[in-house]
Chain A
């Protein structure tokens, strides 16, 4: 599977996941695509969908926590409206960041 196809599948999964959890994808599509591309690259290299903005430690138990959707995303969404990678966002925050995304 090439990287673009992998990215396409991850994006489809992310959209479905967000819908199921009552989240949305971050309103900046370019950013979402960059994060998805990072996820696809890591999946291709390491076999797992590790968050592109987190550090792989080499400790399997620890690293399981950073496979997207990571162990931290729900708490981050509650606290700040979006996950650290800014792939997922709470619906009520979407309008607030849309302006920023358009800059």
Chain B
């Protein structure tokens, strides 16, 4: 049987170690990514210069949207006076709001989008726990 040298085993272990660090690093970014085709509207770009933007897309007759409103109220309270701007968007209110939703690929409500200062986004579709959103916001602020 062909013998594998100790140096080769050490090299494989080292590569696996580097890979595991990289993978855990990627996961800790809360799924932030640059999405092709998404260009942030000017108003949002201006806000991003100062920090993080959270967009909460909702509509009437959407039970989960109503369920998430206290979560949004809590987050708004916690981040008041910081560089985090939270914007609630009724996606069916007017054509402008609908276009903003389309720009971010929103097809269902509630959808919450956290936008990091560099423009990368993390998207949460459906009812989302306060802690999950808070963790994404904190990751964006790092």
> A41 near B: Cβ within 8 Å?
yes
A55, B98: Cβ atoms under 8 Å?
yes
B107, A55: Cβ atoms under 8 Å?
yes
> B63 near A: Cβ within 8 Å?
yes
Partner of A53, one of B101, B102, B109: B109
A34, B108: Cβ atoms under 8 Å?
no
A84, B61: Cβ atoms under 8 Å?
no
Task: Tell me how far the C-beta of B106 lies from the nearest C-beta in chain A, rounded to whole angstroms.
Answer: 6
Most buried by A among B91, B102, B108: B108
Contact with A along B111-142 (1 / 0, CB 8 A): 00000000000000110000000000000000
Q: Which A residues are closer than 8 A to B by beta carbons? A: 31, 34-35, 37-38, 41-42, 51-57, 84-86
Q: Known contacts A53-B62, A55-B92; can you find 10 more A-B pairs with CB under 8 A? A: A42-B61, A52-B59, A52-B61, A53-B59, A53-B64, A53-B108, A53-B109, A54-B108, A55-B108, A84-B126
